[in-house]
Structure formats: structure tokens, C-alpha cells
Chain A
């Protein structure tokens, strides 16, 4: 079964707006990671947040983790056309095995 589940499945916003994607999971984790995938390509790692962290920033990205609610969110601020992609969360329960959600497809309209 899927460990991470993203919400919404698809999101369409105007360039310059902020985009928020959510991820929920079921069991305890070591860390949670977010990846981006451009159409038909491999995944690119964006950010990793450990289970003892609550918030992390990287450029225009902000990730939060609430282990009590078993959820995480990815915020992209001041979106750009180049941010159009699918975004996946992946949970790591240990032993380097990641379990990916089905992803959120983000479209940035010019």
C-alpha cells in the first residue's frame, strides 16, 4: 500500500502565486523527502526533512513536517513556469527503502 499520499492530485495556479502540496503517511518514519519530476524524465531530489525536524527551507521551497498528524507540506513561493512538474513525497522507514506517493501535478499558467 502507498505510504505517502499527496493532495491535491492536480493543482493549477498563476505564475507568481504560491503553491502548496500536502502529503500524508501511515506509519512512523526516519525522514520524508520531496522530489520533482518533469514530464517523461527522472526524479530530482528537492529536500529532505528528518523526523526530529519541523520545518526546512531551500530557496523558494518550504517544507513542514508534523509527525503527530503524520503529514508534510511543500510550499513553493513565487511560482514560475519552470516549476510546472509533478511533485512526489517519499517516506523512508529505514534501510534506504523509499515509498513514494502518487504525486501532485502542478501547472503554472503564465
Chain B
């Protein structure tokens, strides 16, 4: 079974802190994604990556950056956390080639105080 793991289920950080959210997948998937999920807004794509050291902006990249140094790992970085980044963050991965299903991690609920 494909497994996507995220480093923390719950995280509390202070405004202005630098925050790292880690995601690891074990199925050698090419594509990896970061979403945030907010009530009433659904899932919104922050960043995605098609390959190592490659990244593309999603719909809401402002205030975030990403890193993909290894194929299995995709990190989301909040350079200076703000209260409006309090949210559920979901990582996903998928195979390359044609459009395919995405496999999601369990999510990290981040609270910025």
C-alpha cells in the first residue's frame, strides 16, 4: 500500500516563527503536492513538484516555499508564520504520466498564535 506520512498531526507555533512541514512517500511517486484545507474553502493547492529539485506554484503560494531535495520527501516552509496560516495542511503524491489518483497523508493541523 502507498503510504504518505506527515511529520506532525498537530503543531502550534508563534507568529513570526519559521515552520517546516515534512512529507514522505514510499511509492517512488514523481509528483508531490501541498494543499491547505479551510472550512468553506475546500482544498487549495499551495505548491507542487514533478521531480526532484523542481517546484511549481499552485493557487495560493504567497507566504510559503517548498523544498524537494529527494524524490520521496517534499517539505513545506512557512518563512514567517502568521495567524492566517492556521489551517489543516495536506500532502499528497501521485505517479507521473497521465492524470492519476492522488494519495494523501493524514494531515497536519497547524495553529499559529
Q: Point out residues on A near B: beta carbons under 8 Å.
A: 2, 30-31, 33, 35, 40-45, 48, 88, 92, 94, 96-103
Contacts and interface: CB of A to CB of B under 8 A. Distances in A.
A-B pairs with the 4 shortest C-beta distances? A42-B104, A45-B101, A100-B43, A102-B42
A48 B101 contact: yes
Contacts of A2: 42
B29 to A, nearest CB: 11
Most buried by A among B4, B45, B90, B104: B104
Interface of B: 4, 31, 35, 40-45, 48, 50, 58, 88, 90, 92, 94, 98-107, 109
A30 B99 contact: yes
A10 B92 CA distance: 25
Contact of B102 (A30, A45, A94, A99): A45
Contacts of B98: 30
Contacts, number: 55
Given A31-B99, A43-B104, A97 B109 contact: no
B109 to A, nearest CB: 7
Given A30-B99, A42-B104, A102-B40, 6 more contacts: A40-B107, A42-B106, A88-B42, A94-B99, A97-B45, A97-B48
Nearest to B90: A42
Contact of B42 (A44, A45, A101): A101
Contacts of B50: 96
